[in-house]
Amino acid sequence: MNHQKTDVKNNEKSGGCCCANKDASPIETAHQNLKGKGLPMHTLAVEGAKCGGCVSKIESALKSVAGVEDARMDLPSATATVAGDVQAEVLISALEGVGFSAFIAQ
22-104 adopts what CATH topology? Alpha-Beta Plaits (3.30.70)
Residue 11 has pLDDT above 70, yes or no: no
**pLDDT at position 15 over 50:** no
Coil, strand, or helix at residue 98?
A: coil
Domain edges within the chain = 22-104
Residue 52, Cβ neighbours under 10 Å: how many? 19
Q: pTM here?
A: 0.69
Distance between CA 81 and CA 74 in Å, rounded? 8
16-69: pLDDT as tens digits? 345 444 454 455 665 666 666 678 999 999 999 999 999 999 999 999 999 999
